[in-house]
Structure 1
Amino acid sequence: MSLLEIRNLSVSFDTAAGPFKAVDGIDLHVDQREVLAIVGESGSGKSVGMLATMGLLPKTATVTADRLTFEGRDLLTLSSRERRQIVGRDIAMIFQEPMASLNPCFTVGFQLTETLRFHLGLGRAERKRRAIELLQSVGIPDPEGRMSSFPHQMSGGQCQRVMIAMAIACNPKLLIADEPTTALDVTIQKQILDLLVGLQREHGMGLIMITHDMGVVAETAHRVVVQYKGRKMEEAGVLELFENPKNPYTRALLSALPENATGDRLPTVADAMALEAAR
């Protein structure tokens, strides 16, 4: 049985111009100890699909699926209370912008200990001890001192590490990382990726990596789902995808990588799609 199984997931939003379908019939699954990468351009529905799985979309969204299960439990039929018990504890998500995700009005220590209080019911002393351990595990220097820091007193990389610490606080079975290195410089990106993969292996979690960076996919994933305009174009093992992409869009995406540039101008996905259509 898969850890997470999604069949025919669709998400639409009510707009002034009528319903807009952001996700259109997506199928995917992820197993324990597996890293699944979901790749595609901005606007391809990568994040929306995972937010729907977490139950974090606004009420203006309509979510339907033939199957949306976590460890065999139907997420669509759970009550709000039952879903809150799973989300944040068994399924956790690292969001794209750490500075926007952390509350600027509260210290890092308070935000970490509140997560532990809500999901695990730990006492004050135990919450503090566990929070310091978590900050240490994600490589934060002077973790005890950092407990009293506010997010604006920390760098972007440190804030992302705090977000990872909050996500793994309850030892989740599934971790979803939404573009976890987008706002970071190249050196810090590598550190964060190594940290995520190391934690995934150490804890035996399933990991879904949402990204548009094919380099990240090559370094971290076991399998890859390629999305375009809300639909799944292709799914394959990571080596198979890079060596023998079957879908024209996947080939276009790989052709648009900077290392495939010829001449003075970087290729775009649109350029590559045009070449695919001309074949």
Structure 2
Amino acid sequence: MTTAASTPSASRLPRSARQLIAFLLIVLAILVVWEGAKYLGGDPWRADSNPFGIEHRPPFRVKVLSDLNLPHVWSIIEAFGNPARRNGPPLVQILFDAAVYTFREAFAGFVIGGLLGFLLGAIFAHVRLFERGCMPYVVASQTVPIIAIAPMVIIWLKAGWISVAVISAYLTFFPVTINTLRGLKSPDPTQLELMHSFAASTWTIMWKLRFPAALPYIFTSLKVSATTSVVGAIIGELPSGIRQGLGGAILNFNQYYISGPGRLWATIIVSALVGIFFFILVALVERLVLSGRYPKTEIS
């Protein structure tokens, strides 16, 4: 009975493999819906390279599904291999260089925002008056559109990667602050009483009890901040005039969208992949740090 009961659990795929399969299935479903919508309501098309000259005329015509508004998946894939300009390198090389540049800015903003968020969360957790006085302003800072703040930061700090990193940090620090505060307050009161009964100092309680208890909360916020830091870096590049990053590529290809919509869509896809890569990177660090401290079921 024991062998029979343990066989199904042993044959199950690892959680990471199941997550990868689920992700690929979702991507496949999106592509099927995308091309299915194009098949039913897009522009007519003809496969000239096919010896039979296959031609398709959709039964409906929906403007939003036209090739200009929503190009075919294969058109976007083809755009990666085509040069962005005459006699220039292929688009995939340009976007790779831009992705690396933006990732460095996002990483700098991620580090700045993460440290600032942890510092604020730690202060809020230990100084109740400071929390009550400053938390409303921290929350209010996130209600101001980043697109309105970005030009001001560029004016103050001048155009450059530092100003972009600050804009990225602006979007990063808030979730880290909130989750750090929640995590540092998460230990059971009986555990705190036990530490106090042994005359443990505030510093000892912080690093021996509160900080380990807060790690899952902190890493959850860091995974969120990883993606928002990329968004902040791209937004920061738009008013700063930086052309080496993905923000500059988006501006450039948006100007020539009519002549090549696939290039802008390819840039959007690469931007999303940078955010996914950063998220996975933080998740791997989380698993490495927390694997020996908490059960696997608690590590997201």
Report TM bin, short chain.
Answer: under 0.3
Q: Which TM-score applies when normalising by structure 1?
A: 0.24
Q: Which TM-score applies when normalising by structure 2?
A: 0.23
Decide which structure has greater strand share: 1
Decide which structure has greater helix share: 2
